[in-house]
Structure 1
Amino acid sequence: MTTADGSHRAQGWTSGVRQRLGLGRLLPLGGPADGAWISERAAVGVLRRAVAGPGPGPVIMELRIAVADAGTAPAPQVPPPPSGLPPGPLRIEATVAATAHQPLPAAAAALRSALVTAAARRLGLVVDEVDVQVAALLDSEPEQAEPPPAEVRPAEPEDAAGRAAAGVTGVAALTRILGASVHTGDGHVQVELATEGAHRALDVTRAVRAAVSGAVDGHPSVAVLVTAVTDGPGPYVPPGG
């Protein structure tokens, strides 16, 4: 192996680690029976876009999502992806900048309501708490900038499970940030994918689980990990197609 080959491999390994770390926490979608998770990065992107827009209101500087209760959580009914958080209510922590033109308690309450609504309607996250902290007071109304859409590098479906998942309405593409897009084990399949923003992520993952379980011999248990949510339709396009 040449020095150049070693350098390229090292760069590829480093890039892969950065991609994995960039996903953030793997948050449960729905409840213990739903067998679905979504990356914190994907969920935060959707929530930021949902609350960004014209008009007055706090501007989100930082948004974090974690399990709300550190106590005993119900066990998932299917094996979670590596580092997947247990099912249970979630807590959103928003750090914002605001102006004194709008009463801060009212602005914070409106933002809490918008985040909870977006989490439920667009994703299917169960949010129990929203903590809004004002970290900066601005002299003038800030410009609400909508975050850029998610970038997705599609992976080609390579087996029955992948083809079944990719064919479900609302699936933008299979992805492979944590390795292969489809992991198959003893009686269990894990699928990694991106969903379209026009469809609620939880509804898409439920349909994927049913499709994959029906397409694979033995009807295995199925877990789905959503790594990105796109702004619109994004069917798989083969390289060069």
Structure 2
Amino acid sequence: MTGDSWSSAVRRRLGLGRLLALGDLQDGAWITERAAVSVLGAAAAALPDLAVTSLRLAPADPECRAEPQVPAPPSALPPGPLRITAELTALGGHPLPELTAALRDALFAAADDRLGLPVSDIDLRVTSLSDALPDPLPGGPPPGPAEPPATAAAAAALATPGVAHLTAELGPPVHTSGAHVRVELATTHHPLEVARAVREAVARATPEADSVAVLITWAGNFSPSGV
């Protein structure tokens, strides 16, 4: 790998943010922080009289060392409660307690209903009051589709409802290590529900695999009703 390609790979990896565990210990599903922030930011942008300018996710308890039952992607966070930290600008003349309460409710609901992220804490900081709001938090473009390998795992994942396409942000779209399979993809429906369905489909298609994990790098617009 040349210096330029190595630097590009590092920038791409850093742009994904943290790899956040979806669901519980047994779910074997992760989502990039960038994808989660895009969904949470869209929920915040629907609220009047405020604009979220920064949003990050991190473990609510940094000492949590829960071990997933499925091998995690490299450097992924373990399953456990998460904390959202957000900064916002509010329109002057509007009651801040009401604005922040509405934002907190919207973020909790989006984390649960649209993502499947176990958020337990939300810290909000009003950084400025203004007569005009800045642009909402950018969601960023979705990753382009990766060329799927001609494997049973790839075919099973692509045939699962709610899968938009396979991606290759962290590595190949289908990564195998021994008897473990990891599939990377973009979704058009509830990420956790899609991940569970993909894991079941890939496990059926590859009975030789001992475990299957899913990494979601982008989550599109969808109805909270699920797949």
TM-score of the two chains, using structure 1 as the length reference: 0.86
The equivalent of 2:199 in structure 1 is 209
- Check if 1:23 corresponds to 2:16: yes
Helix, strand or coil at the partner of 1:206: helix
11-20 or 158-167: which moved more? 11-20
Q: Residue type of the partner of 2:191?
A: A
The equivalent of 1:128 in structure 2 is 120
Within 5 Å, give how 1:59-78 maps onto structure 2.
59-78=51-70
Q: Residue type of the partner of 2:186?
A: A
* Residues 150, 228 of structure 1: 8 Å contact kept: no
Structure 1 residue 56 displacement after superposition: 2.7
Pick from 50, 65, 68 the counterpart of residue 58 of structure 1: 50
Structure 1 residue 184 displacement after superposition: 1.0
Structure 1 residue 99 displacement after superposition: 2.5
* Residues 86, 123 of structure 2: 8 Å contact kept: yes
* Residues 195, 226 of structure 1: 8 Å contact kept: yes
* Residues 52, 144 of structure 1: 8 Å contact kept: no
217-226 or 57-66: which moved more? 217-226
* Residues 150, 229 of structure 1: 8 Å contact kept: no
Q: Residue type of the partner of 1:225?
A: L
Question: For 1:160-215, what per-residue CA distance to the aligned partner results, in whole angstroms no more than 9, with x for missing partners?
Answer: 1111111111111111111111111222111111111xx11000000000011110
Once residues 148 and 36 of structure 1 are traced to their aligned partners in structure 2, the CA distance between those partners, rounded to angstroms, is 21
The equivalent of 1:47 in structure 2 is 40
* Residues 41, 139 of structure 2: 8 Å contact kept: no
- Check if 1:156 corresponds to 2:156: no
Once residues 174 and 5 of structure 2 are traced to their aligned partners in structure 1, the CA distance between those partners, rounded to angstroms, is 21
Question: For 1:38-72, what per-residue CA distance to the aligned partner results, in whole angstroms no more than 9, with x for missing partners?
Answer: 0000000111112213x633210100001101233
Within 5 Å, give how 1:137-176 maps onto structure 2.
137-138=129-130, 140-142=131-133, 145=136, 147-148=138-139, 150-158=141-149, 159-176=151-168
Helix, strand or coil at the partner of 1:226: strand
TM-score of the two chains, using structure 2 as the length reference: 0.91
**Structure 1: gaps spanning 5 or more residues:** 1-5, 233-241
Paired residues, number: 221
Pick from 192, 210, 216 the counterpart of residue 226 of structure 1: 216
* Residues 65, 78 of structure 2: 8 Å contact kept: yes
Once residues 148 and 97 of structure 1 are traced to their aligned partners in structure 2, the CA distance between those partners, rounded to angstroms, is 17
Once residues 208 and 156 of structure 1 are traced to their aligned partners in structure 2, the CA distance between those partners, rounded to angstroms, is 18
Structure 1 residue 154 displacement after superposition: 0.9
Runs of 4+ aligned residues of structure 1 deviating over 4 Å after TM superposition are none
Helix, strand or coil at the partner of 2:14: helix
Structure 1 residue 146 displacement after superposition: 6.8
Q: Residue type of the partner of 1:37?
A: W
Once residues 57 and 204 of structure 1 are traced to their aligned partners in structure 2, the CA distance between those partners, rounded to angstroms, is 34
- Check if 1:34 corresponds to 2:27: yes
Once residues 66 and 162 of structure 1 are traced to their aligned partners in structure 2, the CA distance between those partners, rounded to angstroms, is 31
* Residues 185, 217 of structure 2: 8 Å contact kept: yes
The equivalent of 1:110 in structure 2 is 102
* Residues 100, 124 of structure 2: 8 Å contact kept: yes
Q: Residue type of the partner of 1:16?
A: A
Q: Percent identity?
A: 51
Question: For 1:19-50, what per-residue CA distance to the aligned partner results, in whole angstroms no more than 9, with x for missing partners?
Answer: 11100000010111110000000000111112
Helix, strand or coil at the partner of 2:195: helix
* Residues 149, 230 of structure 1: 8 Å contact kept: no
Once residues 108 and 171 of structure 1 are traced to their aligned partners in structure 2, the CA distance between those partners, rounded to angstroms, is 34
